[in-house]
Amino acid sequence: MSSFEYILLTIAGCGLVTWLSRVLPFLLLKKMTLPKLLVEYLSFVPIVIMSALWISNLFIQDLGHLPMINWDNFGASLPTLLAAILTKNLLVIVLVGIFSLALIQLVF
């Protein structure tokens, strides 16, 4: 087997596994109903994931020192947070975050 075929099969296999890991839960849960307590618990997962991503990008880890604030991301998060409070629209929030970070990096 040539290296091209090996790489192609690896990419196809990874794609299949990724697709199955996203589709199988939907197929399995389509026929079942989850307990109300579990559904309520799972409703907090997106909030927790977004908070973890935000906090992890808000700080810069310097080996041997305390984490420092990433001022670009902090500055971009302020208008983004304001957009989130005012609109509660994910598209607007993402666009405000992207444009404010781009503007900060362009200016500074």
User: CB neighbours (10 Å) of residue 88?
Assistant: 9
Rounded to 5 degrees, φ, ψ at 59 are -120, 150
The pLDDT assigned to 29 comes to 85
Q: Is 92 left (phi over 0), alpha (psi -120 to 50) or beta?
A: alpha
pLDDT along the chain (108 residues), means of 10: 93 96 89 90 89 90 86 95 93 95 95
Residue pair 88/79 in contact by the 8 Å Cβ criterion: no
The pLDDT assigned to 13 comes to 97
The pLDDT assigned to 32 comes to 86
- pTM (2 decimals)? 0.62
